[in-house]
Amino acid sequence: MLLDLLFLPVLFFIGIITSYEDLKEGKIKNKWIVFGLSWALTIYCLLLILALILKRFSLNFSIISPFYIFKVLINSSIAFISGYLLWYFNLWSAGDAKLFFVFSLLLPLKYYWKSTLPYFYSFTLLINTFVLALSFLLIQNLLSLRKLILSFLKSTNLETVKKSFTQHFKKNYIEYLKEGGSFLLIFTIFQLIWSEFGNLTAEKKGPLVFLLFLIILRKMLKLIFKNIWLLILITLIFLGIFLFLNNFKQNFFYNVLFSLKTSIFYTFLFFIFSSLLSGEEEKKHPFAIWLFGGVLITIFLKGSFLSLI
């Protein structure tokens, strides 16, 4: 309760004002980042000093444990690195990365009790933010696509459409096969790891989390896996490792077939979402709104969207 009183009003203030300014001016001002960071570090330092004083005088009264502050610092450090990497790969702006870092400091850890990853509690906030943003873009693009298709069908002969589609596919089918095969292999490897080692996340929603982040990072992955032979080599190495670990057990081949089957489904979903989201993501969107929306959802659910599935 004390942490809520100390941090949530500041969190809401920064969330509202940065969302408004990002919407109106297209940027997040550094003064709000500095304010949030200064407030969080000052409060945690004071709480830590108070906790150590109480412990020194053997008073049976605890406001906050030093271990809690240590967990906050670990979480925020990982959030800082993650935010930097997302900025480095051009997935959001530097202001968004800094705002995510500040939110990770200001949001009490109790709101992550259904956390997806140990130590990186703000991964839940990241999931909620991107699910919210991608859902909006998906709905927006579906509505635009519906209008475009209706307009196109009214003004174009169906035979012409069929011919155009066939020509396009013949011209690009090798590229589609390479890309589709690459992501199919990625999903299959992940499914095998998941079936072998199981509990990779607290929510047991690993494949869905993996799908979400493949969609987010797909541009980067296309560059990494442009060399199909590299991907095939990695796949063969993984299969060799799994064969060795399983001592050529009979159920291993069943797991491979099952993983391949489910991977086809996830690859299909991946390409549907990627196609619908392409283009719209290139436009400038006020991401501070999605980050603050992600905070509100995390507080309400005390976990991620995936905990509802």
pLDDT digits (tens, 9 = 90+) for 255-276: 556 556 655 655 655 655 555 5
3-state DSSP of the chain: CHHHHHHHHHHHHHHHHHHHHHHHHCCCCHHHHHHHHHHHHHHHHHHHHHHHHHHHCCCCCCCCCHHHHHHHHHHHHHHHHHHHHHHHCCCCCHHHHHHHHHHHHHCCHHHHCCCCCCCCCCHHHHHHHHHHHHHHHHHHHHHHHHHHHHHHHHHCCHHHHHHHHHHHHHHHHHHHHHHHHHHHHHHHHHHHHHHHHCCCCCCCCHHHHHHHHHHHCHHHHHHHCCCHHHHHHHHHHHHHHHHHHHCCCHHHHHHHHHHHHHHHHHHHHHHHHHHHHCCHHHCCCCHHHHHHHHHHHHHHHCCCHHHHC
Give a yes or no: residue 70 inside a domain: yes
Least confident of 25-34, 40-49, 59-68, 115-124: 59-68
> Phi and psi of 146, rounded to 5°?
-60, -45
The pLDDT of residue 234: 66
Give yes or no: residues 277 and 187 share one domain. yes
Give a yes or no: residue 217 inside a domain: yes
User: What type of residue sits at position 159?
Assistant: E
Higher-confidence residue of 216 and 202: namely 216
Give yes or no: residues 57 and 149 share one domain. no
Give yes or no: residues 146 and 271 share one domain. yes
Spatial separation of the C-alpha atoms in residues 211 and 160, rounded to whole Å:
35
Question: Average pLDDT, stretch 139-162?
Answer: 64
* pLDDT tops 70 at residue 139: yes
> Domain residues for 165?
135-282
Give a yes or no: residue 10 inside a domain: yes
Give a yes or no: residue 56 inside a domain: yes
Give yes or no: residues 211 and 254 share one domain. yes
Give yes or no: residues 211 and 269 share one domain. yes
Give yes or no: residues 252 and 176 share one domain. yes
Least confident of 67-71, 115-119, 275-279: 275-279
Least confident of 74-83, 181-190, 198-207, 219-228: 198-207
User: Cβ(206)–Cβ(194) under 8 Å?
Assistant: yes
Give a yes or no: residue 114 inside a domain: no
- Give 130: exposed, middle or buried? Use CB within 10 Å, 0-12, 13-18, 19+: buried
> Phi and psi of 303, rounded to 5°?
175, -165
User: What type of residue sits at position 161?
Assistant: V
Give yes or no: residues 256 and 187 share one domain. yes
Residues 6+ apart with CB under 8 A from 63: 2, 47, 50, 51, 54
Spatial separation of the C-alpha atoms in residues 212 and 206, rounded to whole Å:
10
Share of the chain above pLDDT 90, in %: 24
Give yes or no: residues 22 and 72 share one domain. yes
Give a yes or no: residue 292 inside a domain: no
Q: Tell which of 106, 123, 151 closes a domain.
A: 106
Spatial separation of the C-alpha atoms in residues 204 and 201, rounded to whole Å:
5
Q: Binning pLDDT at 50, 70 and 90, where does residue 302 land?
A: confident
User: What type of residue sits at position 272?
Assistant: I
Give yes or no: residues 8 and 142 share one domain. no
Which pTM does this prediction carry? 0.70
Give yes or no: residues 162 and 243 share one domain. yes
User: Cβ(217)–Cβ(89) under 8 Å?
Assistant: yes
Mean pLDDT of the chain: 74
Share of the chain above pLDDT 70, in %: 48
Give yes or no: residues 143 and 247 share one domain. yes
Give a yes or no: residue 304 inside a domain: no
Count up the domains in the chain and report the number.
2
Q: Tell which of 88, 106, 124 closes a domain.
A: 106
Give a yes or no: residue 277 inside a domain: yes
Give yes or no: residues 167 and 248 share one domain. yes
The pLDDT of residue 217: 59
